[in-house]
């Protein structure tokens, strides 16, 4: 059995066949899926979908691009959502320093605010990071008192050194479809250095489908493909990867 620890099943790409996608994923032994919010409306949609489906859970939070949607009601709205037992994490939250994103300082303040809220609500965090690993590590070290519930670095793409620092802080490293790409040798080399006991599996669907499905709509049903690639990199069996990453997901997200 597998866990897809980061999906976007509420995305419009699934509007025509969402129930079929969930059903087929379970047939492919992906029996638990965490669908992620990226702002308040999508977080509410994630919770609603989780409530309607066994094995579906939700994470709630505001992604860097949407931080200007954070207002005076933000904390009360998120807190209300987390009263639902299907909400198992705060995310995705983080930093993205690519073009056309909010100013760095605004992103940092929003990130810290959500770290504080996650700690207050006793929730692990799901971190998004693009071109900001230095600041992410510095901020997490500075605020390590807020990391009591742990969390994960979703869709990891940094160095082995950064990953090891994140692991020291109690975080897991999440492995997705990018790790299967033919041009991802640097990431493959990084994953070889990291302990399987600190790894999770994810799709980030409908984005970033693994080889040989690259360019198609991603799906939780592709988790076994990502797992097989990771097993090959680690010199393990796919059964070992399934067992250990599932145990890790249950540990950090308290999945039932």
| pLDDT above 70 as % of the chain | 100
Asked if residue 224 has pLDDT above 90, the reply is yes
Task: Please give the CATH architecture assigned to the domain spanning 2-253.
Answer: Alpha-Beta Barrel (3.20)
Q: Confidence class of residue 91 from pLDDT cuts 50, 70 and 90?
A: very high
Q: Confidence class of residue 131 from pLDDT cuts 50, 70 and 90?
A: very high
Question: Which secondary-structure segment (H or E) carries 158?
Answer: none
Instruction: Categorise residue 84: left if φ over 0, alpha if ψ from -120 to 50, beta otherwise.
Output: beta
Asked if residue 256 has pLDDT above 90, the reply is no
- How many CB atoms are closer than 10 A to CB 159? 15
CA pair distance 141, 234, nearest whole angstrom? 29
Is 107 in contact with 68 (CB distance < 8 Å)?
Answer: no
Q: Which pLDDT score, from 0 to 100, does residue 238 have?
A: 98
Which residues on adjacent β-strands are paired with residue 129?
Answer: 95
Q: Give start and end residues of each alpha helix (H) in the chain.
A: 18-27, 40-52, 74-81, 104-120, 133-142, 160-168, 185-193, 223-234, 238-253
What's the pTM? Answer: 0.97
First to last CA, the chain: 13
Average pLDDT over residues 166-171: 98
Average pLDDT over residues 179-204: 98
Tokens 């940094």 label which residue? 158
Of 148, 154, 85, 143, nearest to 113 by C-alpha is 143
**Chain center to CA of 220:** 13
């Amino acid at each position: 059995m597998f866990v897809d620890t980061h999906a976007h099943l509420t995305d419009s790409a699934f509007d025509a066949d969402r129930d079929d996608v969930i059903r087929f994923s379970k047939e492919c032994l992906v029996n638990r899926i965490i669908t992620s919010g990226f702002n308040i409306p999508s977080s509410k949609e994630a919770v609603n979908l989780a409530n309607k489906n066994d094995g579906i859970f939700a994470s709630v939070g505001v992604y860097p691009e949407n931080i200007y949607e954070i207002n005076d009601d933000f904390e009360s709205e998120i807190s209300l959502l987390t009263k639902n037992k299907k909400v198992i994490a705060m995310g995705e939250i983080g930093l993205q320093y690519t073009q056309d994103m909010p100013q760095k300082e605004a992103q940092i303040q929003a990130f810290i605010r959500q770290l504080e809220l996650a700690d207050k609500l006793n929730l692990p965090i799901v971190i998004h990071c693009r071109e900001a690993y230095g600041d992410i590590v510095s901020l997490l070290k500075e605020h390590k008192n807020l990391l009591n519930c742990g969390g994960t670095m979703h869709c990891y793409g940094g160095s082995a050194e950064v990953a090891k620092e994140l692991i020291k802080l109690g975080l897991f490293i999440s492995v997705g479809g990018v790790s299967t790409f033919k041009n991802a040798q640097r990431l493959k080399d990084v994953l070889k250095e990291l302990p399987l006991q600190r790894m999770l599996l994810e799709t980030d669907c409908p984005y970033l489908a693994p080889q040989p499905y690259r360019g198609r709509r991603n799906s939780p049903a592709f988790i076994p493909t990502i797992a097989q690639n990771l097993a090959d990199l680690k010199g393990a069996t796919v059964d070992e990867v399934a067992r250990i990453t599932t145990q890790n997901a249950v540990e950090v997200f308290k999945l039932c």
